[in-house]
Amino acid sequence: MPELAEVEYVARQMRMSVLGARIAQITVAWPRTISVPDVPTFIHLLSGQVIEAIERRAKVLLIMLSIDLVLTVHRRMSGNVELLEAGAPPPRYERVRLELDDGRAIAYSDPRKFGRMALYAGVDLPAALADFGPEPLDPEFTVAVLARILASTPRAVKALLLDQHAIAGLGNIYADESLHAAGIHPLLPANSLSSTQIAALHAAIIAVLQLGIAHGGTTFGRHRGFYGEVGHNLEHLRVYQRTGEPCRTCGTPIVRIVVAQRGTHLCPNCQPNTHS
DNA sequence: CTATAAACCTGCTGGC
DNA sequence: TGCCAGCAGGTTTATA
């Protein structure tokens, strides 16, 4: 769920509502949520910081603070970042809470406890984010860039799309949706795709992500927006979690296979296991 | 380099 | 209704 589209949507919401707010008090209910630095230092450094900007890289939310500090949040499988109005009850599974000096609070909840927060000095941020591939929605992500990534390996194309070192921000949902929209079978070797297929995949990745953002993300399970609301992209998905249901393009039942240890959904008619 | 499995965690679903 | 196995949006690390 929290893939690029979900993180981007929340980042945009945060820009509308918490820029300029000061963090007054920090509570850490599950210490392992904080990967770096240690919890006492984390709390000490964060206290009194003003939220100056909100950005995103891959699936990581970046909260830029005063005094050249950056708070990063990776929600992994089940994390949510939500705004609590003054007096609002905490969400279930709250792991970290940032109380703002205006009475509101930013709550991080995460039932599975996989998500992580970290605090970096600005100078250390580039190194922390260095291993990500290009941003799919950045103008620099051209067909030629995608072609070069695909040509570099014989791995299954779906496995490559999930690899954050290759391309940043795609997860299981949007990888499946991108491949369906492009008419490409997930098991095809990445370096076997035709130039026509590469161009189709490039367009599909961008379209699928932009649609996901426009719909407020895909709530399959527990993704929530910054104001606690569900995203509506689930009803627009064409293959993900639709095993056995008719393809919205041709009516053929959607099939589920396993690729790179991940459930993978495809239309065997729209996504033939061949090139051209 | 590539692939696979396990680990980190808990909740939910489906089968019996 | 109740219990249990298996599965889930992600990433990292160890092993082959």
- Contact (Cβ atoms closer than 8 angstroms) between residue A63 and residue A49: no
Q: Is A100 left (phi over 0), alpha (psi -120 to 50) or beta?
A: beta
Rounded, the Å distance between the CA of A246 and C1' of B14 is 22
- Name the average pLDDT for chain A: 96
Q: Is pLDDT above 90 for A274?
A: no
Mean pLDDT, rounded, for A107-132: 96
First to last CA, chain A: 32
Mean pLDDT, rounded, for A41-51: 98
pLDDT tier at A275, thresholds 50, 70, 90:
low
Q: Which residue has the tokens 């603070």?
A: A65
Q: Is pLDDT above 60 for A276?
A: no
Per-residue pLDDT at A239: 95
CB-contacted nucleotides of strand C (7 Å): 7-12
pTM comes to 0.97
Kindly name the residue from A3, A6, A94, A99 that is annotated as catalytic. Answer: A3
Rounded, the Å distance between the CA of A99 and C1' of C4 is 41
Active site (annotated) includes residue A242: no
Active site (annotated) includes residue A186: no
pLDDT tier at A6, thresholds 50, 70, 90:
very high
Q: Is pLDDT above 60 for A84?
A: yes
Which stretch of DSSP H or E encloses residue A265? strand A262-266
Judge whether residue A261 contacts strand B, using its CB and a 7 Å cut-off.
yes
Per-residue pLDDT at A1: 64
Rounded, the Å distance between the CA of A61 and C1' of B9 is 22
Q: Is pLDDT above 90 for A149?
A: yes
Judge whether residue A97 contacts strand C, using its CB and a 7 Å cut-off.
no
Q: Which residue is nearest to nucleotide B8 (CA to C1')?
A: A114
Residues in chain A: 276
- Contact (Cβ atoms closer than 8 angstroms) between residue A65 and residue A51: yes
Which nucleotide, over all strands, has the C1' atom closest to the CA of A261? B4
Per-residue pLDDT at A153: 97
Which nucleotide, over all strands, has the C1' atom closest to the CA of A113? B9
Q: What is the pLDDT of residues A223-260, one digit of tens each?
A: 999 999 999 999 999 999 999 999 999 999 999 999 99
Mean pLDDT, rounded, for A48-67: 97
pLDDT tier at A3, thresholds 50, 70, 90:
very high
CB-contacted nucleotides of strand B (7 Å): 1-6, 8-11
Q: Is pLDDT above 70 for A123?
A: yes
